[in-house]
Structures are given as structure tokens and as C-alpha cells.
Amino acid sequence: MAMLIDGKATSRAVRDEIRAETERFLKATGMLPGLAVVIVGEDPASQIYVRNKHKACEEVGFLSQVHALPEATTQEELDALVEKLNHDPAIHGILVQLPLPKHLDAEEVLLRIDPEKDVDAFHPVNVGKIMIGTDSFLPCTPAGIIVLLKRHGIEIAGKRCVVIGRSNIVGKPMALLLLRENGTVTICHSRTKDLASVTREADILVSSVGKAKFVTADMVKEGAVVIDVGMNRDEAGKLCGDVDFSAVEPHVSAITPVPGGVGPMTITMLLQNTLKAAKKAAGIA
């Protein structure tokens, strides 16, 4: 039976560490790490994500601000709010919840966020730092996956690592972080020929394609480690990942469940980035 890579338990452990470090930070500086989340419009999924982030901040003792703007907010109004938060010393991290309404330019907004407060690590400055290995912040989902692997005793160095998906949020940075841990990395995508022959070479397989049960048993090497980033609904409307869990699990050495695998780590790493930003702003190593 495969080892279940437990994101819930790992997330709790990391948040306990963040809470303890936050208390030390408060004693040293008289301040709390501050995260501001900006949401525009009424997208139901975005509202759930924002509530979860606010709850997580409260859990570890952060200052949490939620700026909920109406659907009709103009580009100028949104840009002005971001600039205001850039100059607010109580705010160490700024997150603009995506997607934005179609009349707003998400790229323009993300470029306006001070790179020192870009705790999502989406700003080109931070993306470049990740590329050359001098980063301040790591993108939350890929960073969470690295923590999951390490805390479950899974060696990355020297392993064949295959990432399915090349998004800027998960696929590309995931490949970079695995490479930094001395994995030998291949990125697969919609134009990859004979995908299964490539994925079967993977000691560590990461899927982030967003298609329910896309990864089947014939695509996985015996004894591999499988990380499922997907969050989908199957034909019955049940939450599932990219991986056909029941078919794949008997063949692998370790696997993340959905839900309860990668998902809990993403917000936890956002908290870690915010704490890092606060410590940097305060001149604490």
C-alpha cells in the first residue's frame, strides 16, 4: 500500500511553527506580520479562497485585511489601492485574488505590487530571482510540494522528476524548484508526444493539468511518488484530482490524496512568505 502524503497534518505542523515564530516576532518588534488580500467582484470560488486565507491568518496570529471591491471597480481605483498598500508599513504581503473581472488588467495590477510584498511570487522580479536562485519568496503551491516531499522523507536529488503542465503558477516554477533540489526534470504539456512513455520514467510525477483522473495506472512507473495538484469534479460531481487515485495508488510508493494533499499547503506557504516579508522589513534575518 502506498504511503499517503498527508497535506493536512503537514500544514498543521508548519502553521504551528509559523505561529510560534510570529509570537517571537511580535515580542521583538511590537508588530504582527500583515497580509492584505484584495478581491474584486462576487466570484464564489474566489470568495471561498479569500475567507480561507483570512481564517488562516487569524489562526497563526497575523494582521489580516480583506479589501472587497465591487465588480464595477475601475482600473484606476484598483491601482490606487495597491499603491496605498505598498506604502502601508503594517502590511507586509499583498495578494490580489485572481481572476479579476474582464475589464481589469491583471498583469498591470500584479506589476504594481511592490516585489518586497509580492507574497504570491508572481511579480517578474521575483520570478527572475527564482530562476537564478536568489529568491525572497517561492510560489506557494510548488513550495508546498517541496515541503511535503521533504517532510515525508522523499529524496529528490538524483531522481527523474516529470511535471505535467507548464503554467506560470505551478508547472514552470515546480520544475525550477525540483531542479534546485537536484532532480533531473522534464516538463510535459499538451504538445508532448507519447506522454505515457515520458511519465513512466518518473521517480517523482507531478500533475497539474486540471483534468479529472487524467493520470491513469499505465502512465505511472511502479514505485513512483505521485503528486496530484488537480482540483476537479468527476462525472458524479465528487471532488477529485488529476490522478485516477484508486487505479494508481496500488502501483506507487507514495501519493497525495485529493482533497487533503497539496491543497492545504498552498495557503500555509503564503503565510510563510508573509512572515518572511515581515522579518525582512524589520531587518530580522
Write out the catalytic residue numbers: 53, 97, 120
Q: Taken in order 34, 39, 44, 46, is the CA torsion positive or negative?
A: negative
Beta pairing, strands 232-233 & 239-240:
antiparallel
Q: What is the 3-state secondary structure (H, E, C) of the chain?
A: CCEECCHHHHHHHHHHHHHHHHHHHHHHHCCCCEEEEEEECCCHHHHHHHHHHHHHHHHHCCEEEEEEECCCCCHHHHHHHHHHHHCCCCCCEEEECCCCCCCCCHHHHHHHCCHHHCCCCCCHHHHHHHHHCCCCCCCHHHHHHHHHHHHCCCCCCCCEEEEECCCCCCHHHHHHHHHHCCCEEEEECCCCCCHHHHHCCCCEEEECCCCCCCECHHHCCCCCEEEECCCEECCCCCEECCECHHHHHHHCCEECCCCCCCHHHHHHHHHHHHHHHHHHHCCCC
**Beta-bridge partner residues of 69:** 40
Give the separation between CA 220 and CA 171, rounded to whole angstroms: 18
Contact between residue 56 and residue 19 where contact means Cβ atoms under 8 Å apart: no
